[in-house]
Structure 1
Amino acid sequence: MRRPVVGLFFGLLGVLGVLLHRDYGLPWDEQLDRLNGIISLKYVALQLAPELARREPNFALIPDMRDNQDTDHGVIFQLPVLLLERVAGAHDSRDVYFLRHLLTFFTVLGGIYVFYRLAAQRFRSWGLGLLGAALFVLSPRLFAEAFYNYKDLVFLAFFTGGIYTLTQLIRQPSWRTTLLHAGATGAAIDVRTMGVLLLGLTFCFVGLELVYRPILRQRFVPLAILYLAVTVAVVVLGWPYLWENPGGHFLEAFQSFSRYRSDMTVQYWGEQVSVQELPWHYAPVWLLITTPVAYSLLFLTGLITLARDVLRRPAAWLRTRTGRQDLLYAAWFLGPLVAVVGLQSVIYDGWRHLYFIYPAFLLLASRGILAAWSYWRNHRLGICRSLAAGLLVFLGGGMLHAAFRIVQDHPYQNVYFSVLPGAVAERLFERDYWGLSGRQGLEWILAHDASPRVSVATDARTGLVLHNNRLLLSPTERARLVFTSPAQARYFLSVYRWHPEPYPSSIGREVYCIRAGGVKILSVFQR
Structure 2
Amino acid sequence: MIIFRVLPCLRPMLPGFPRPLTSRLSPRFWIRCYFALWLLLGLLLLPGYGVSWDEPTDRTTGLISTRYVTSQVAPAWTARQPALQNLPDFATYSDNDHGVLFELPVCLLEQLLGLHDSRAVYLWRHGCVFLVFWMGAWALYGLARARFQDWRLGLAASTLLLLSPRFFAEGFYNTKDIVFLAFFTLGVYTLVRLLQRPTPGRAALHGLATAAATDVRIMGILLLAFTLGMVALELLAAPRPDKQPGRWLRLLPVYLLVTLVAIIVGWPYLWAAPLANFQRAFASLSKFSFDADLLYFGQRVSINALPWHYIPVWVLLTTPVAYVTAALLGAGTYLAAWLRRPLAQLQPLNGRLDALFIGWLALPVLMVIVLHSVVYDGWRHLYFIYPALLLLALRGAWAVAQAARRPGWGRRLAQGAATLAAVEVLLTLGRMVAAHPQQQVYFSFLPPAVVEQQFERDYWGLSYRAGLEWVLAHDAAPRIHLDAGQRMPMMNNVAILPAAARQRLQLDPAAKDVYFLTAYRTHPEAYPDSLGAEVYVLRANGVKVLSVFQKRPW
Would you say same fold, with TM above 0.5?
Answer: yes
How far 1:59 sits from its partner (Å)?
4.3
2:537 is aligned with what amino acid?
A: C
Of 165-174 and 484-493, the range deviating more from structure 2: 484-493
Specify the alignment match of 2:520 in structure 1. Answer: 496
Specify the alignment match of 1:371 in structure 2. Answer: 399
Is 1:484 matched with 2:504? Answer: no
How far 1:281 sits from its partner (Å)?
0.5
Q: Among residues 443, 446, 452, which one is paired with 2:478 in the alignment?
A: 452
**In 2: Cα distance, 1:489 partner to 1:287 partner:** 42
Specify the alignment match of 1:342 in structure 2. Answer: 370
**In 2: Cα distance, 1:32 partner to 1:92 partner:** 17
How far 1:88 sits from its partner (Å)?
4.0
**In 1: Cα distance, 2:332 partner to 2:200 partner:** 38
Q: Among residues 418, 443, 461, which one is paired with 1:392 in the alignment?
A: 418
Specify the alignment match of 1:42 in structure 2. Answer: 67
Is 1:261 matched with 2:289? Answer: yes
1:490 is aligned with what amino acid?
A: V
C-alpha offsets along residues 105-134 of structure 1, whole Å, 9 cap, x if unaligned?
Answer: 111111101101110110111111211111
Inter-CA distance 14–446: structure 2 relative to 1 (3 Å threshold): same
Q: Among residues 267, 271, 278, which one is paired with 2:306 in the alignment?
A: 278
**In 2: Cα distance, 1:330 partner to 1:201 partner:** 11
Specify the alignment match of 2:151 in structure 1. Answer: 126
Task: Say whether the 8 Å CA contact 1:458–1:486 is kept in structure 2.
Answer: no
**In 2: Cα distance, 1:498 partner to 1:305 partner:** 40
SS of the aligned residue for 1:510 comes to strand
SS of the aligned residue for 2:536 comes to strand
Q: Among residues 210, 214, 217, which one is paired with 1:189 in the alignment?
A: 214
**In 2: Cα distance, 1:102 partner to 1:137 partner:** 16
How far 1:257 sits from its partner (Å)?
2.5
**In 2: Cα distance, 1:463 partner to 1:430 partner:** 17
Give the percent of matched residue pairs that are identical in Structure 1 and Structure 2. 48
Task: Say whether the 8 Å CA contact 2:519–2:545 is kept in structure 1.
Answer: yes
SS of the aligned residue for 2:244 comes to helix
Task: Say whether the 8 Å CA contact 1:471–1:478 is kept in structure 2.
Answer: yes
Task: Say whether the 8 Å CA contact 1:493–1:525 is kept in structure 2.
Answer: yes
**Unaligned segments of structure 1, at least 5 residues:** none
Inter-CA distance 388–486: structure 2 relative to 1 (3 Å threshold): farther
Once the two structures are superposed, the pairs formed by residues 497-516 of structure 1 within 5 Å of their partners are 497-516=521-540
2:445 is aligned with what amino acid?
A: V
Specify the alignment match of 1:357 in structure 2. Answer: 385
How far 1:499 sits from its partner (Å)?
2.1
Task: Say whether the 8 Å CA contact 1:262–1:275 is kept in structure 2.
Answer: no
Q: Among residues 93, 98, 115, which one is paired with 2:123 in the alignment?
A: 98
Specify the alignment match of 2:99 in structure 1. Answer: 74
Task: Say whether the 8 Å CA contact 1:457–1:489 is kept in structure 2.
Answer: no
How many pairs were matched up? 523
How far 1:90 sits from its partner (Å)?
2.5
**In 2: Cα distance, 1:58 partner to 1:480 partner:** 24
1:517 is aligned with what amino acid?
A: N
Specify the alignment match of 1:418 in structure 2. Answer: 444
How far 1:262 sits from its partner (Å)?
2.1
Specify the alignment match of 1:315 in structure 2. Answer: 343
Q: Among residues 409, 426, 430, which one is paired with 2:456 in the alignment?
A: 430
How far 1:91 sits from its partner (Å)?
2.1
**In 2: Cα distance, 1:330 partner to 1:421 partner:** 31
Task: Say whether the 8 Å CA contact 2:330–2:397 is kept in structure 1.
Answer: yes
C-alpha offsets along residues 426-475 of structure 1, whole Å, 9 cap, x if unaligned?
Answer: 1111100000011111111122222221110112xx21112200111111
Specify the alignment match of 1:27 in structure 2. Answer: 52
Specify the alignment match of 1:524 in structure 2. Answer: 548
2:407 is aligned with what amino acid?
A: R
**Unaligned segments of structure 2, at least 5 residues:** 1-25
Q: What TM-score, normalized by structure 1, do the two folds share?
A: 0.96
How far 1:142 sits from its partner (Å)?
0.7
Specify the alignment match of 1:468 in structure 2. Answer: 492
C-alpha offsets along residues 160-196 of structure 1, whole Å, 9 cap, x if unaligned?
Answer: 0100111111222221011100000000001111101
Task: Say whether the 8 Å CA contact 1:261–1:276 is kept in structure 2.
Answer: no
Q: Among residues 124, 127, 132, which one is paired with 1:107 in the alignment?
A: 132
Q: Among residues 430, 433, 436, which one is paired with 1:407 in the alignment?
A: 433
Is 1:380 matched with 2:417? Answer: no
Q: Among residues 136, 158, 167, which one is paired with 2:192 in the alignment?
A: 167
Specify the alignment match of 1:298 in structure 2. Answer: 326
Task: Say whether the 8 Å CA contact 1:72–1:254 is kept in structure 2.
Answer: no
**In 1: Cα distance, 2:382 partner to 2:134 partner:** 18
Task: Say whether the 8 Å CA contact 1:165–1:177 is kept in structure 2.
Answer: yes
1:515 is aligned with what amino acid?
A: R
Is 1:85 matched with 2:123? Answer: no
How far 1:388 sits from its partner (Å)?
0.9
SS of the aligned residue for 1:492 comes to strand
C-alpha offsets along residues 195-223 of structure 1, whole Å, 9 cap, x if unaligned?
Answer: 01111111111122122456522233332
How far 1:150 sits from its partner (Å)?
1.2
C-alpha offsets along residues 255-296 of structure 1, whole Å, 9 cap, x if unaligned?
Answer: 222422321111100111001111111000000111111111
1:245 is aligned with what amino acid?
A: A
**In 1: Cα distance, 2:329 partner to 2:336 partner:** 11
Inter-CA distance 132–60: structure 2 relative to 1 (3 Å threshold): closer
Task: Say whether the 8 Å CA contact 1:210–1:217 is kept in structure 2.
Answer: yes
**In 1: Cα distance, 2:54 partner to 2:510 partner:** 23
1:499 is aligned with what amino acid?
A: H
Specify the alignment match of 2:36 in structure 1. Answer: 11
**In 1: Cα distance, 2:114 partner to 2:46 partner:** 18
Inter-CA distance 431–486: structure 2 relative to 1 (3 Å threshold): farther
How far 1:245 sits from its partner (Å)?
1.4
Specify the alignment match of 2:27 in structure 1. Answer: 2
**In 2: Cα distance, 1:487 partner to 1:497 partner:** 24
Of 119-128 and 155-164, the range deviating more from structure 2: 119-128
Task: Say whether the 8 Å CA contact 1:298–1:391 is kept in structure 2.
Answer: no
Q: What TM-score, normalized by structure 2, do the two folds share?
A: 0.92
Task: Say whether the 8 Å CA contact 1:266–1:348 is kept in structure 2.
Answer: yes
**In 2: Cα distance, 1:445 partner to 1:256 partner:** 42
Specify the alignment match of 2:178 in structure 1. Answer: 153
